[in-house]
Amino acid sequence: MPDLILHNYPNSPFAEKVRLILGYKGLDWHSVQIPRVMPKPDLMPLTGGYRKTPVMQIGADVFCDSSCIVRELERRHPDTTLFPADSHGIATMIGAWADRTFFFDAVGVVFGTLASMVPNDLREDRMRFSGGMIDIDRYQREQTQLRSQLRAHLFWVERALEDGRRYVLGTTPTWADFCLYHPVWMVQRRVPELGAANDMPRTLAWFERMTAFGHGRPVELDAKEALSIAQAAAPAAIKLGHPELPEGFSVGAAVTVAADDYGKDPVAGTLVAANAQHIVIRRSDPAVGEVNVHFPRAGFVLSKAA
Ligand SMILES: N[C@@H](CCC(=O)N[C@@H](CS)C(=O)NCC(=O)O)C(=O)O
Domain with 150 in it: what CATH number? 1.20.1050.10
Q: Which of 211, 244, 260 is the last residue of a domain?
A: 211
Q: What is the pLDDT of residues 16-30, one digit of tens each?
A: 999 999 999 999 999
Residues 207 and 144 in one domain: yes
One-letter-per-residue 3-state SS of 187-233: HHHHCHHHCCCCCCHHHHHHHHHHHCCCCCEEEECCHHHHHHHHHHC
Q: How many CA atoms lie within 13 A of 129 on its CB side?
A: 19
Residues 201 and 226 in one domain: no
- Give the nearest ligand 1 atom to 69 CA: 20
How far, in Å, CA of 29 to CA of 6, rounded? 7
Domain with 26 in it: what CATH number? 3.40.30.110
Residues 201 and 240 in one domain: no
Contact 57, 72 (CB under 8 A): no
Contact 203, 158 (CB under 8 A): yes
Q: Is the CB of residue 95 below 6 angstroms from any atom belonging to ligand 1?
A: no
Determine which helix (DSSP H) or strand (DSSP E) holds 28, and give its type and residue range.
strand 28-33
- Among candidates 6, 100, 117, which has minimal Cα distance to 53? 6
Residue nearest atom 1 of ligand 1, based on CA coordinates = 65
Determine which helix (DSSP H) or strand (DSSP E) holds 280, and give its type and residue range.
strand 278-285
- Centre of ligand 1 to C-alpha 49, Å, is 13
Residues 204 and 224 in one domain: no
Q: Which of 193, 211, 229 is the last residue of a domain?
A: 211
- Among candidates 42, 72, 44, which has minimal Cα distance to 56? 72
- Give the nearest ligand 1 atom to 11 CA: 10
Give the burial class of 68: count Cβ atoms within 10 A of its Cβ; 0-12 exposed, 13-18 middle, 19 or more buried.
Answer: buried
Check pLDDT > 80 for residue 3: yes
Q: What is the pLDDT of residues 182-215, one digit of tens each?
A: 999 999 999 999 999 999 999 999 999 999 999 9
How far, in Å, CA of 182 to CA of 185, rounded? 5
Please state, in angstroms and as integers, the Cα–Cα distance from residue 203 to each residue in 96, 116, 142, 180, 209, following that order.
Answer: 19, 29, 25, 10, 10
Residues 203 and 245 in one domain: no
Q: What is the pLDDT of residues 98-154, one digit of tens each?
A: 999 999 999 999 999 999 999 999 999 999 999 999 999 999 999 999 999 999 999
Contact 246, 58 (CB under 8 A): no
Contact 219, 2 (CB under 8 A): yes
- Give the nearest ligand 1 atom to 54 CA: 20
Per-residue model confidence (pLDDT) at position 1: 64
- Among candidates 48, 44, 40, 41, which has minimal Cα distance to 283? 48
Residues 74 and 115 in one domain: no
Confidence of residue 306 (pLDDT cuts 50, 70, 90): confident
Residues 61 and 115 in one domain: no
Residues 207 and 98 in one domain: yes
How far, in Å, CA of 133 to CA of 126, rounded? 8
Q: Which of 177, 211, 245 is the last residue of a domain?
A: 211
Per-residue model confidence (pLDDT) at position 157: 98
- Centre of ligand 1 to C-alpha 52, Å, is 4
Residue nearest atom 2 of ligand 1, based on CA coordinates = 65
Q: How many domains would you assign to the chain?
A: 2
- Give the nearest ligand 1 atom to 129 CA: 14
- Give the nearest ligand 1 atom to 67 CA: 19
Residues 207 and 300 in one domain: no
Helices (H), the chain: 13-24, 44-47, 66-76, 88-97, 103-113, 120-129, 136-141, 143-160, 175-190, 201-211, 223-232
Q: What is the pLDDT of residues 245-294, one digit of tens each?
A: 999 999 999 999 999 999 999 999 999 999 999 999 999 999 999 999 99
- Centre of ligand 1 to C-alpha 25, Å, is 22
Q: What number is the average pLDDT over the span 293-298?
A: 98
Indicate the top mutation candidate among 8, 11, 12 to test ligand 1's pocket, ranked by most ligand atoms within 8 A of CB. 12
Q: Is the CB of residue 65 below 6 angstroms from any atom belonging to ligand 1?
A: yes
Residues 179 and 92 in one domain: yes
How far, in Å, CA of 211 to CA of 207, rounded? 6
Q: What is the pLDDT of residues 89-99, one digit of tens each?
A: 999 999 999 99
Residues 184 and 119 in one domain: yes
Residues 111 and 202 in one domain: yes
Share the mean pLDDT of the chain: 98
**Which residues form the domain of 76?**
4-80+218-304
> DSSP characters for 170-193?
BSS--HHHHHHHHHHHHHHHH-GG
Tell me if the pTM is above 0.75: yes
Q: What is the pLDDT of residues 31-72, one digit of tens each?
A: 999 999 999 999 999 999 999 999 999 999 999 999 999 999
Between 249 and 306, name the one with better pLDDT. Answer: 249
